[in-house]
Amino acid sequence: MPKTVDCDQRRAEFVDATWRIIRNEGFRAATLRRVAAEARCTTGALTHYFNNREALLLGALKRTHAAAAQRMLAAAREFASGPRELEAVVLEALPLDDQRMDEWKTRLAFWDAASESDSLRRENLKHFNEWSEFLRECLAPLEPNFRIRNREVMLLAALVDGLAMRLLTQCRTSEQLRTAAPEIVAAVRDYIEAVKQRCA
Protein backbone atom coordinates (compact mmCIF):
# COMPACT_ATOMS: atom_id res chain seq x y z
CA MET A 1 0.00 0.00 0.00
CA PRO A 2 1.44 3.42 -0.99
CA LYS A 3 2.70 5.60 1.81
CA THR A 4 0.38 8.53 2.69
CA VAL A 5 2.15 11.88 2.53
CA ASP A 6 0.97 14.83 4.60
CA CYS A 7 1.50 17.64 2.09
CA ASP A 8 1.32 20.45 4.65
CA GLN A 9 3.85 18.69 6.86
CA ARG A 10 6.17 18.09 3.91
CA ARG A 11 6.00 21.76 2.89
CA ALA A 12 6.74 22.74 6.48
CA GLU A 13 9.80 20.47 6.49
CA PHE A 14 11.12 22.17 3.34
CA VAL A 15 10.48 25.60 4.84
CA ASP A 16 12.28 24.60 8.06
CA ALA A 17 15.24 23.39 6.00
CA THR A 18 15.24 26.72 4.15
CA TRP A 19 15.26 28.66 7.42
CA ARG A 20 18.18 26.61 8.76
CA ILE A 21 20.24 27.24 5.66
CA ILE A 22 19.52 30.98 5.60
CA ARG A 23 20.40 31.35 9.29
CA ASN A 24 23.56 29.27 9.13
CA GLU A 25 24.89 29.86 5.62
CA GLY A 26 23.22 32.99 4.30
CA PHE A 27 20.36 33.78 1.97
CA ARG A 28 22.14 32.99 -1.30
CA ALA A 29 22.99 29.49 -0.06
CA ALA A 30 19.28 28.56 -0.01
CA THR A 31 19.18 27.03 -3.48
CA LEU A 32 16.75 24.27 -4.44
CA ARG A 33 19.55 21.72 -4.49
CA ARG A 34 20.92 22.79 -1.09
CA VAL A 35 17.46 22.84 0.53
CA ALA A 36 16.66 19.41 -0.91
CA ALA A 37 19.91 18.05 0.52
CA GLU A 38 19.15 19.60 3.92
CA ALA A 39 15.68 18.01 3.83
CA ARG A 40 17.22 14.68 2.75
CA CYS A 41 15.31 14.36 -0.50
CA THR A 42 15.79 14.92 -4.22
CA THR A 43 15.40 18.27 -5.94
CA GLY A 44 12.53 16.73 -7.89
CA ALA A 45 10.68 15.92 -4.67
CA LEU A 46 11.13 19.53 -3.53
CA THR A 47 9.87 21.02 -6.80
CA HIS A 48 6.73 18.90 -6.45
CA TYR A 49 5.78 21.29 -3.61
CA PHE A 50 7.58 24.48 -4.68
CA ASN A 51 7.94 25.08 -8.44
CA ASN A 52 11.09 27.18 -8.16
CA ARG A 53 13.41 28.89 -5.68
CA GLU A 54 11.34 32.06 -5.50
CA ALA A 55 8.20 30.08 -4.62
CA LEU A 56 10.14 28.28 -1.89
CA LEU A 57 11.54 31.50 -0.44
CA LEU A 58 8.12 33.15 -0.59
CA GLY A 59 6.64 30.15 1.25
CA ALA A 60 9.32 30.43 3.93
CA LEU A 61 8.69 34.16 4.38
CA LYS A 62 4.91 33.67 4.62
CA ARG A 63 5.34 30.97 7.24
CA THR A 64 7.63 33.21 9.30
CA HIS A 65 5.02 35.97 9.23
CA ALA A 66 2.16 33.57 10.03
CA ALA A 67 3.98 32.11 13.05
CA ALA A 68 4.67 35.58 14.46
CA ALA A 69 1.08 36.71 13.83
CA GLN A 70 -0.37 33.69 15.65
CA ARG A 71 1.79 34.31 18.70
CA MET A 72 0.89 38.00 18.82
CA LEU A 73 -2.83 37.24 18.56
CA ALA A 74 -2.46 34.74 21.41
CA ALA A 75 -0.59 37.34 23.47
CA ALA A 76 -3.32 39.91 22.84
CA ARG A 77 -6.04 37.51 24.00
CA GLU A 78 -4.39 37.21 27.40
CA PHE A 79 -5.43 40.74 28.34
CA ALA A 80 -8.40 43.04 28.02
CA SER A 81 -7.84 45.78 25.47
CA GLY A 82 -5.64 48.63 26.61
CA PRO A 83 -2.02 49.22 27.64
CA ARG A 84 -1.42 45.65 28.87
CA GLU A 85 -2.61 44.18 25.58
CA LEU A 86 -0.41 46.57 23.61
CA GLU A 87 2.58 45.77 25.83
CA ALA A 88 2.06 42.01 25.40
CA VAL A 89 1.88 42.33 21.60
CA VAL A 90 5.02 44.48 21.36
CA LEU A 91 6.98 42.16 23.63
CA GLU A 92 5.86 39.13 21.63
CA ALA A 93 7.10 40.82 18.46
CA LEU A 94 10.64 41.10 19.82
CA PRO A 95 13.36 38.39 19.63
CA LEU A 96 13.41 37.71 23.38
CA ASP A 97 13.95 33.95 23.12
CA ASP A 98 15.87 31.61 20.82
CA GLN A 99 12.90 30.80 18.58
CA ARG A 100 12.02 34.44 17.93
CA MET A 101 15.70 35.30 17.52
CA ASP A 102 15.96 32.67 14.75
CA GLU A 103 12.85 34.09 13.09
CA TRP A 104 14.28 37.61 13.20
CA LYS A 105 17.57 36.45 11.67
CA THR A 106 15.59 34.87 8.85
CA ARG A 107 13.42 37.98 8.46
CA LEU A 108 16.50 40.20 8.28
CA ALA A 109 17.90 38.07 5.45
CA PHE A 110 14.59 38.42 3.61
CA TRP A 111 14.60 42.19 4.05
CA ASP A 112 17.95 42.31 2.31
CA ALA A 113 16.80 39.99 -0.49
CA ALA A 114 13.58 41.98 -1.01
CA SER A 115 15.61 44.73 -2.66
CA GLU A 116 16.10 42.35 -5.61
CA SER A 117 12.74 40.54 -5.67
CA ASP A 118 9.34 42.08 -6.37
CA SER A 119 7.45 39.12 -4.87
CA LEU A 120 9.45 39.22 -1.62
CA ARG A 121 9.05 42.99 -1.45
CA ARG A 122 5.28 42.67 -1.90
CA GLU A 123 5.08 39.99 0.79
CA ASN A 124 7.13 42.12 3.19
CA LEU A 125 4.88 45.12 2.49
CA LYS A 126 1.77 43.00 3.03
CA HIS A 127 3.11 41.83 6.39
CA PHE A 128 4.07 45.37 7.42
CA ASN A 129 0.58 46.64 6.55
CA GLU A 130 -1.06 43.80 8.52
CA TRP A 131 1.25 44.45 11.49
CA SER A 132 0.46 48.18 11.36
CA GLU A 133 -3.28 47.48 11.25
CA PHE A 134 -2.98 45.15 14.23
CA LEU A 135 -1.16 47.84 16.22
CA ARG A 136 -3.86 50.33 15.20
CA GLU A 137 -6.52 48.03 16.62
CA CYS A 138 -4.57 47.61 19.86
CA LEU A 139 -4.20 51.40 20.15
CA ALA A 140 -7.84 52.20 19.38
CA PRO A 141 -9.04 51.99 23.02
CA LEU A 142 -6.27 54.38 24.04
CA GLU A 143 -6.41 56.87 21.15
CA PRO A 144 -9.61 57.51 19.16
CA ASN A 145 -7.97 60.09 16.87
CA PHE A 146 -6.95 58.22 13.71
CA ARG A 147 -4.15 60.63 12.74
CA ILE A 148 -2.54 60.45 16.17
CA ARG A 149 -3.02 56.69 16.25
CA ASN A 150 -1.18 56.38 12.93
CA ARG A 151 1.72 58.37 14.34
CA GLU A 152 1.88 56.08 17.37
CA VAL A 153 1.81 53.00 15.12
CA MET A 154 4.79 54.31 13.17
CA LEU A 155 6.71 54.97 16.39
CA LEU A 156 5.86 51.55 17.84
CA ALA A 157 6.96 49.78 14.66
CA ALA A 158 10.23 51.73 14.76
CA LEU A 159 10.68 50.81 18.44
CA VAL A 160 10.24 47.11 17.70
CA ASP A 161 12.62 47.18 14.71
CA GLY A 162 15.22 49.18 16.63
CA LEU A 163 15.17 47.00 19.73
CA ALA A 164 15.18 43.85 17.60
CA MET A 165 18.26 45.06 15.72
CA ARG A 166 19.98 45.83 19.03
CA LEU A 167 19.34 42.28 20.24
CA LEU A 168 20.37 40.78 16.89
CA THR A 169 23.68 42.61 16.82
CA GLN A 170 24.57 42.32 20.51
CA CYS A 171 23.39 38.85 21.50
CA ARG A 172 25.32 35.93 20.06
CA THR A 173 24.31 33.34 22.65
CA SER A 174 21.17 32.33 24.54
CA GLU A 175 22.80 33.51 27.77
CA GLN A 176 23.50 36.96 26.33
CA LEU A 177 19.87 37.14 25.19
CA ARG A 178 18.58 36.22 28.64
CA THR A 179 20.85 38.85 30.20
CA ALA A 180 19.68 41.58 27.78
CA ALA A 181 15.97 40.75 27.93
CA PRO A 182 15.04 42.46 31.27
CA GLU A 183 16.38 45.83 30.09
CA ILE A 184 14.45 45.52 26.81
CA VAL A 185 11.24 44.54 28.63
CA ALA A 186 11.62 47.49 31.01
CA ALA A 187 12.17 49.89 28.09
CA VAL A 188 9.03 48.62 26.34
CA ARG A 189 6.96 49.01 29.53
CA ASP A 190 8.22 52.55 30.01
CA TYR A 191 7.41 53.36 26.40
CA ILE A 192 3.87 51.94 26.61
CA GLU A 193 3.33 53.98 29.77
CA ALA A 194 4.44 57.08 27.83
CA VAL A 195 1.99 56.21 25.04
CA LYS A 196 -0.76 55.88 27.65
CA GLN A 197 0.10 59.30 29.07
CA ARG A 198 0.22 60.93 25.61
CA CYS A 199 -3.14 59.45 24.69
CA ALA A 200 -4.83 60.25 28.00
Task: Give the pLDDT of residue 4.
Answer: 58
How far, CA to CA in Å, does 117 sit from each of 14, 114, 138, 198?
21, 5, 32, 39
- Residue 3 confidence (pLDDT): 53
- Rounded mean pLDDT of 28-50? 92
> Taking 50 as the threshold, does the pLDDT of residue 1 lie above it?
no
The three-point CA angle 64-68-72 to 5° equals 170
The Cα–Cα gap between 141 and 120 comes to 33
Let me know the angle formed at the C-alpha of 177 by 162 and 163, rounded to the nearest 5 degrees: 10
When computed from its CA atoms, the radius of gyration of the chain, rounded to whole angstroms, is: 19
pLDDT of 196 above 80: yes
Question: For domain 1-51, which CATH number applies: 2.60.120.10, 2.60.40.1840, 3.40.50.2300, 1.10.10.60?
Answer: 1.10.10.60
Confidence (pLDDT) at 174: 92
Q: Which of 25, 47, 173 is nearest to 109 (CA)?
A: 25
Task: Please tell me the pTM assigned to this model.
Answer: 0.84
Give me the CATH topology for the region 60-199: Tetracycline Repressor; domain 2 (1.10.357)
Instruction: Delimit the domains of the chain by residue range.
Output: 1-51, 60-199
Q: Tell me how far apart the alpha carbons of residues 12 and 131 are, in angstroms, rounded to a whole number.
A: 23
Specify which of 8-12, 24-28, 91-95, 98-102 reaches the highest per-range mean pLDDT: 91-95
Instruction: Tell me the pLDDT of the chain averaged across its residues.
Output: 89
- Binned at pLDDT 50, 70 and 90, residue 5 comes out as low
28 by Cβ neighbours in 10 Å (0-12 / 13-18 / 19+) ranks as exposed
Q: How many residues does the chain have?
A: 200
Q: How far apart are CA 108 and CA 163, in angstroms?
A: 13
* Per-residue pLDDT tens digits for 128-183: 999 999 999 999 988 889 999 999 999 999 999 999 999 999 999 999 999 999 99
